[in-house]
Each structure stands twice: as C-alpha cells, then as structure tokens.
Amino acid sequence: MTRILFEGKRAVGVQVQAAPNAPVQTVRAKREVILSAGAANTPKLLQVSGIGPEAVLKELGINVFHALEGVGENFHDHFMVRSVVRVQGVQTINSTARGVRLLGEIVKWALGRPSVLSISPSVAFGFTGSRPELTEPDLQLHFSPGSYAAGIAGQLDQFAGMTLGFYQQRPYSVGYVRARSSNPFELPRIQPNYLTDPRDQQTAIDGLRLARAMLHSPPLAKYGQADDFPPASAQTDAELLACARERGGTAWHFMGTCKMGQTSDPLAVVDSELRVLGLEGLRVIDASVMPSMTSGNTGAPTMMIAEKAADFIRGNPQLPAQRL
C-alpha cells in the first residue's frame, strides 16, 4: 500500500504498488479502510497521503489534505540496556550455538528435544524498582545465559558470558516519526530521543547499578570472571550514563504515533473507536494508537486493541457507540 484514496473527506480505498517501478493498482473499500502498518509505517503512510502536521508536510512538498498535528508525534519505545559479565566453569549459549555443538543442537531441535534453537534470547524475566524507595516496579529485567557482541542482539560474543538487561517500563522521553519524502517506498525517519529526559537518565544509571549488584550476588558470583560491560572502572553516574548511551537500544516496542484522545487534545489522531479525527471511513488499528506506554511488552495490548476494534467494525450492539 502506498497511499490512501479519498472522496471528499471519506476514505474510499488505497493505492497499491509492489515495487517502485511496478504498476499502480487501486483497491476500493466497500465500508472503510483499516490502516495497520505499525507505529513507524502507519504515520508515514498517513503523511504521504497528506494527513499530518502542516509544517512537516509542507517541508516534504506534500499537499496538506487534512491537518492533524499528532500524526507521527508522541513516539515512545522501551530502551533496553544490557550488563554483561564474563563467566567461567559453566557452559553458555555463546559456545553452544557454535561449531560442532551447534550441529548437535540442530539435531535435538529436529527431534523435538530441548535445544538452544528453541529458546528465547532471554530465559528469565522479572520486575523490580530501580531504587529502594519506589513502591511499584519501574524496570523489567531480562536474563540470558549468553551475551551479545557490543549489545547487538543475535551476534554472540566469542567468550562465555551472561547478560542481565532491563528497560524502564514507562519512559518519559518522547520522539517522533516522519516521512523522509513523498516517496512511500522510502523508510521513515525515526527519532526516539532516548534518554533525553533527566528522569530516564537517572533510571538508566540506577538500573545499571542494580544489574551489577545482581550479577555479583552470591548465586551468580561463583560463575563471574570479570565485568565486561559496563567495565568495572565505570563507577560514577556520568560514566554509567555514557555506557547506557553507548550500547543501549530498542526493545522493539514502538507505539504512540497516532494516539487516541479527545478532540481537545492537539496531538490526538484517533477517537475512542480508532477512527481518524475529522475523516470518515478510516481507522488505525495498531500500537500507534496507544496514548501512553504500557508497563511491559506491547504484543498482548496490541492484540487486545485488534479484538476491540473488530467489535467496533462489526458494530457490536453491546458496545456504546461514542465519538469523542
């Protein structure tokens, strides 16, 4: 899909093109158009269709069809920071997933037996507070009996290592998503603005101190050989924050770029039934409609949004029909 088509203010179909040089096809909708391209591509498609912040669209040379200042704004993501300790006296994924041992794991997987190929990169999870005085958790923890080169998930270290990662459940830093041009095939520009809010910076620092303490706790200390990252020399707040910025990255929980809200909210894009404000026949159904970050993974909430949207589309008589 490359653009949304309108008659007046009503969405009536979409333009589809498999590749930049492929023929353009038109698909018309009998009832309404459902946009479910995700929190990065949904705002991009709206913007290239002329729906979005006026200043952004004019800068891209796109005619403003319907001004909505919130399209692409309010971007949130969980920022993952990982601590790694080199280990000894125990086998880790780093060695199991290489060479002859990997062949053995492939055989076990083919036979339906437990194998390194069938486990998640993180095998243990937890929720905790970054500081003792907090009454509710603000961190989600991820432990792995392995480690990744320079924090790149999927690229294993050459040495034996274990990882304890975390992300702040409800970050305050806010970014945006913008189309780069009127070309729908060009990837959007994503600016997450990680750690721009001082509160997020302090949580990252506290989280790294907590992860270090846990990795050095008695049950794990007997396996620890040396701190790999952050290095043991990183002790001050400034040094730990620099480490978080150096290797921290996305938890792939993009959301918020077409937020649900009331018409009085200048950044609202959809109403309580996920209809795009000011337009007809167009709904957004994905994580971009979340007005604020969930305190955990976004997969289940997104499925819930889809289930609820299905009731809206069917016109479930048990649900109140309201337009904010």
Q: Is the pLDDT of residue 163 over 70?
A: yes
Q: Is the pLDDT of residue 256 over 50?
A: yes
Handedness of CA 228, 233, 235, 239 (dihedral sign): negative
Confidence of residue 15 (pLDDT cuts 50, 70, 90): very high
What's 270's DSSP letter?
B
pLDDT of res. 122: 86
pLDDT of res. 214: 97
CB atoms within 10 A of CB 23: 8
Confidence of residue 290 (pLDDT cuts 50, 70, 90): very high
Q: Is the pLDDT of residue 324 over 90?
A: no
Confidence of residue 318 (pLDDT cuts 50, 70, 90): low
pLDDT of res. 285: 98
User: What tens digit of pLDDT does each residue of 106-118 get?
Assistant: 999 999 999 988 8
Query: What superfamily in CATH does domain 79-250 come from?
Result: Glucose Oxidase, domain 3 (3.30.560.10)
Q: Is the pLDDT of residue 30 over 80?
A: yes
The radius of gyration computed from the CA coordinates of the chain, to the nearest angstrom, equals: 23
What's 174's DSSP letter?
-
Tell me the catalytic residues.
Answer: 253
Q: Is the pLDDT of residue 272 over 70?
A: yes
Residue pair 251/237 in contact (Cβ under 8 Å)? The answer is no
Percent of the chain with pLDDT over 90: 88
Which residue's entry shows tokens 């990882």?
163
In the chain, where are the structural domains located?
Answer: 3-75+254-314, 79-250
Q: What is the mean pLDDT of residues 272-280?
A: 97
Q: How far is CA 240 from CA 160, 166, 200, 206, 289, in A?
A: 23, 14, 13, 9, 34
Q: What is the mean pLDDT of residues 4-20?
A: 95
Residue pair 83/164 in contact (Cβ under 8 Å)? The answer is yes
CA distance 285 to 25: 23
Is residue 222 within a helix (H) or strand (E), and if so which, with residue range? none
CA distance 218 to 215: 9
On average, the pLDDT of the chain sits at 94
Q: Is the pLDDT of residue 301 over 60?
A: yes
CA distance 2 to 234: 48
Which residue in 268, 288, 291 sits closest to 68, CA to CA? 268
Pairing relation of β-strands 161-168 and 139-144?
antiparallel
Beta-bridge partner residues of 27: 14
pLDDT of res. 322: 44
User: What tens digit of pLDDT does each residue of 170-220 get?
Assistant: 999 999 999 999 999 999 999 999 999 999 999 999 999 999 999 999 999
Q: Which of 29-43, 118-132, 146-160 has the lowest mean pLDDT?
A: 146-160
CA angle 161, 163, 165 (to 5 degrees): 165
CA distance 1 to 35: 10
Which residue in 322, 281, 319 sits closest to 34, CA to CA? 281
**Which CATH number is correct for 3-75+254-314, 1.10.10.60, 3.40.1210.10, 3.20.20.70, 3.50.50.60?**
3.50.50.60
E strands, 43-137, are: 51-52, 66-67, 79-87, 124-128
